[in-house]
Amino acid sequence: MKKEIFVLSIIFATMLTHTSCNKAPETINPLTVESTAPFGAPEFDKYKTSDFLPAFEQGIAEKMAEIQKIIDCKEAPTYANTIDALELSGRLLDKVSCIFFTLNESDSNDEMLQIENSITPKLTELNGFIYMNDDLFKRIRTLYDNREMLNLSEEQSIVLENYYKDFVRGGALLDKTEKRMLLDIDTQIGLESIRFGKNLLDDSKQFQMIITDEKDLSGLPQSVRDAAQSAAKEAGVEGWLFTLDKPSCIPFLQYADNRELREKIYKAYYNRGSNDNPYNNKSIIRDILKLRLSKAKMLGFDTYADFKMDVKMAKTPEAAMQLMNNIWEAAIKRAKEEATELQALIDKEKGGFKLAGWDWMYYTEKLRKVKYSLDENEIKPYFKLDNVLGGAFDCATKLFGLSFVERKDIPIYNDGVKVFQVLDDKQQHLGIFYVDFFPRKSKRSGAWMTNFVNQINLGDYNTRPMIVNVCNFTPASGDTPSLLNIDETLTLFHEFGHALHGMMTQAHYPSVSGTNVKHDFVELFSQINEHWAMESEVLKTYAKHYQTGEAIPDELIEKINRASHFNSGFETTELVAAALLDMKIHSLGEYDDEFDCNQFEQELRNAIGFIPEIEYRYRTCNFSHIFNSGYSVGYYAYLWAEVLDADAFELFKERGIFDAATAKAFRHLLEMGGSEEPMEQYRRFRGADPNPQAMLRRRGLID
């Protein structure tokens, strides 16, 4: 997933040097001065948590001064003195925001959460100062109304249009009273979102399933047992410890023979945020939904879904729903067939019970062995983490000529982080790439990509991006290195696809560089990158046994390929159901004080015929994508973009997966960011509109 962080624009670096030069050395805040690290990388070895709040305050003050200078300009508005100036404003704030919010997701602590609570209202006030200023909007509107006469490039036209829409959507056309109300709403939404995220993290981390009887480990591979034993030692308890981190709970659900314990950890995972404890998110969700709806109606929309979809490729909730409903019909049919197969296996073993959610993964693994003679534990030794990362790098080299050099001289924020310099096909510096792969108590669950430093190539400023991939993979245990399963391997390639999108950008304006594209376009670049991971000729280059160095054998590749569509009904329905939940819950025209998100989930489940043996990928109370991130009314984007990525990869398959001409054409899509209209560029690449049947073929839902 591409993690969206609230980051404002940038300010002149020369101002930062000037404002700091008269301070005594011991009082200089390392966040407010230029970095002396290679490439100007963040100096994590110098930062203290206490540095962030004063750095934010200085960044906000400088941003406001820059904006006020634009407002006070006596000259008639021009693109340079208005739009360019806006894009160049707030460099310190951009720097501090990128670093702080990224760390707050991946290496947080109580002090950082307090800073987030303190700074969120101030950032919202700054947002209001900018987007609700009549004089500033007047300058932008003048340019927008006369845009046909300005001789603008396509990128400049899009940037101008984005500013105009952002100001209108930010309340520029409201009266003073309404503007104040909208600002209060945005502040409350921000604070409630923080509470949601903290509750979810706390509820997830407080769960521990400690096993002391070795009989209860029956069925679990030795590697899973070793990891649980190491976790117990680290926590200071006896026995084997299982948590709700995916590398811990998913293998338990796949292999543990103890059905009662599978049920326990399954319910704990899916009930996060909805338990009867201080971490319950139900009332927070109700408040956020009410606030979002109030905002949408103030801005002239019937629902929050209408408001959000107005700037997406799909344009309307109805268009997104049509896609989801078409996929759902094929997926739920397959899921019911899969459930029948699993029940038959239970009955054959004389289980004496009806298939439930906590049985699905366990019996799926058994059925996989029966149908395809494929055991995940047979696969994992060939997917050593370092080798998988090397495989992703090698694909980028073959496709785009990139090279990756590990750097030990660039500061890191955690001992588990690695850093690479990325060079382009001319061996010129392209960017810096950080990887942060393993779970820890200070990191939220999931996987995402974001920026520590944003790209800009405007005026005297030419800064290349610094990108981080954050994941939660199975760590090393004893003498066994980190070994990935297929899902984790695809996740690595997925997030690396986002990283390539961020690193390869060649836009000029930061607001449209890298992954700053229409929301339902961004997942194209991550999802298409997954395709290379399981191609036979790619597997041969990186899937090597961690003990013997032997390349993965052809017969195992054949098993993987034959099983590639296995369980696709489950995988598709849980995804589509979550996307439907997101869209439907935000399409309501009112929420009363008794609104219960759990009841809404059940009503939707009944309406769409969602079988009880499968759960939503995320239930509402733990759906951080839509309540603590930038994916509200946007989870469908994975499916929308999958139509594009499946169709695009079919072109690679037709011409060769490393075909130079096709890679060159696709490279333009990666480099353009949001500086061109995405569908026009996609059609230029593909030579036609995307074919939605390609996505159904990819998932094995049609022949």
Q: How is the chain split into domains, by residue range?
A: 13-131+133-169, 207-270, 381-562+637-698
Mean pLDDT of 354-365: 98
Q: Give the up-direction half-sphere exposure of residue 21: CA atoms within 13 A in the CB hemisphere.
A: 6
Over residues 644-658, mean pLDDT: 97
Q: What is the pLDDT of residue 645?
A: 96
On the question of pLDDT at 190 being above 50, the answer is yes
Tens-digit pLDDT profile for residues 503-537: 999 999 999 999 999 999 999 999 999 999 999 99
Confidence class of residue 589 from pLDDT cuts 50, 70 and 90? very high
- At 2, is the pLDDT very low, low, confident or very high (cuts 50, 70, 90)? low
For residue 13, is pLDDT > 60?
no
Predicted confidence band of residue 607 (pLDDT cuts 50, 70, 90): very high
21 has a pLDDT exceeding 80: no
Has residue 687 got a pLDDT over 80?
Answer: yes
For position 375, what pLDDT does the model report? 87
Q: Mean pLDDT lowest for which of 75-79, 660-664, 679-683?
A: 679-683
Sequence-distant (≥ 6) Cβ neighbours of residue 703 within 8 angstroms: 697
Q: Do 13-131+133-169 and 381-562+637-698 show the same overall fold?
A: yes
**Which residues, listed in sequence order, are joined to residue 210 by a DSSP beta bridge?**
241
Q: What is the pLDDT of residues 543-578, one digit of tens each?
A: 999 999 999 999 999 999 999 999 999 999 999 999
| Residue reference for tokens 């038959």 | 344
pLDDT in tens, 156-178: 999 999 999 999 999 999 999 99
Beta strand 466-470 with 429-436 is: parallel
CB 411 within 8 A of CB 42: yes
> What is the mean predicted confidence (pLDDT) over 206-234?
96
Residue among 314, 270, 417, 329 nearest 610 (CA): 329
Q: DSSP H helical segments within 403-553, as ranges? A: 486-503, 523-533, 536-542
User: Which of 207, 219, 205 has its CA nearest to residue 252?
Assistant: 219
Write out the CATH class of domain 13-131+133-169.
mainly alpha
Those residues with Cβ within 8 angstroms of residue 76's Cβ, 6 or more apart along the chain or in another chain: 142
Instruction: Tell me if 29 sits within 8 A of 21, measured CB to CB.
Output: no
Q: Which helix or strand (DSSP H or E) is residue 514 part of?
A: none
Instruction: Please report where in the chains the tokens 């929050």 appear, as a residue.
Output: 304
**Which pLDDT score is estimated for 3?**
52
Tell me which residues are annotated as active site.
495
**What mean pLDDT is reported for the chain?**
94
pLDDT at 387 over 70: yes
Question: 295 exposed, middle or buried (CB, 10 Å; 0-12, 13-18, 19+)?
Answer: buried
Please provide the CATH number assigned to the domain covering 381-562+637-698.
Answer: 1.10.1370.40
The CA distance from 556 to 446, in Å, is 29
pLDDT band at 26 (very low <50, low <70, confident <90, very high): low
Q: What confidence score (pLDDT) does residue 441 get? A: 86
Strand, coil or helix: 98: helix
Please choose, from the candidates 413, 411, 410, the residue with its C-alpha nearest in 3D space to the C-alpha of residue 440.
Answer: 413
Percent of the chain with pLDDT over 90: 92
Residue 619 reports pLDDT greater than 60? yes
Q: Tell me what the mean pLDDT of segment 282-310 comes to.
A: 98
